[in-house]
Amino acid sequence: MLYTRKGDSGTTKTFGCDQRISKSSAVAEALGALDETNSFLGVCRSKSRKKSFKIGKREIIFAEIILEVQQNLFIVQAEVAGAEMTILTEKISKVENVVDEIEKLLPPIKTFFISGATELSANFDFARTLVRRAERRMVAAKEEGKIKVSPETLAYLNRLSSLLYALARISNHIEGKEEIKPKYKI
């Protein structure tokens, strides 16, 4: 059944918990932000199915990277909801390695860039902002003592925003699009 009517009063349940919580609680906000991020990453994945780049002789396919991230975000959501799961350090290292390899292919960053040089890069950039919001919501719930999350999970989300920024930049680079710098003129 696609509906239960149990949430009609503005409450929901989390993993392994018999108590209902407000849908506006810090925990529900964190879970919702993670869900929103994962859903939008589905848009990124669908728009990048035929896009790839080379690191040495290895072809890196955007959609495969994003699918792995989506799978990992389900682990993060389960942990936030109370399951005894966490992101392993190997997953953080894998993200860092991809970011490091992408960075080698790009000119160094000397400024911010205005999003939107390509549709795909704009989507990755938007996904980056969603990850940042999810991270803020998760930290808020943790600081309020509502959830326990591992340092590895927090590190993973932090690196994930870097990965999405790197994917946005490499998307522009592949398409030969110039990254526009803000002018800061009044």
Give the DSSP letter string of 68-102: HHHHHHHHHHHHHTT-S----HHHHHHHHHHHHHH
| CATH number of 136's domain | 1.20.1200.10
Mean residue pLDDT across the chain: 90
pLDDT at 123: 97
Residue 80 located in a structural domain: yes
Q: pLDDT band at 17, cuts 50/70/90?
A: low
Banded model confidence at residue 126, pLDDT cuts 50, 70, 90: very high
What is the 8-class DSSP label of residue 114?
B
Note whether residue 7 is domain-resident: no
Q: Which domain covers residue 95, as residue numbers?
A: 21-175
- Work out the percent of the chain whose per-residue pLDDT is above 70: 88
Domain-located, residue 74: yes
DSSP state of 113: -
The pLDDT score that the predictor gives to residue 25 is 76
Does the structure show a pLDDT above 60 at 23?
A: no
**Which pLDDT value is given to residue 27?**
87
E strand intervals along 5-132: 11-13, 20-22, 52-55, 58-61
Q: Does the pLDDT at position 22 exceed 60? A: no
**CB of 29 within 8 A of CB of 140?**
yes
Q: Does a structural domain hold residue 181?
A: no
Residue 71 lies in a domain: yes
Total count of domains within the chain: 1
Asked whether residue 78 is assigned to any structural domain, the reply reads yes
pLDDT, tens digit, 9 for 90 and up, residues 154-165: 999 999 999 999
Residues 55-76: pLDDT tens digits? 888 898 999 999 999 999 999 9
Q: Is residue 108 part of a domain?
A: yes
pLDDT bracket for residue 107 (50, 70, 90): confident
- Structure-block tokens of residue 133: 């919001």
pLDDT band (50, 70, 90) for residue 14: low
d(CA 136, CA 94): 23
Has residue 3 been placed in a domain? no
The CA distance from 94 to 183, in Å, is 35
d(C-alpha 140, C-alpha 147), whole Å: 9
Q: Which tens digit of pLDDT belongs to each residue from 44-59? A: 999 998 898 888 888 9
Q: Residue 174: which pLDDT band, with cuts at 50, 70 and 90? A: very high
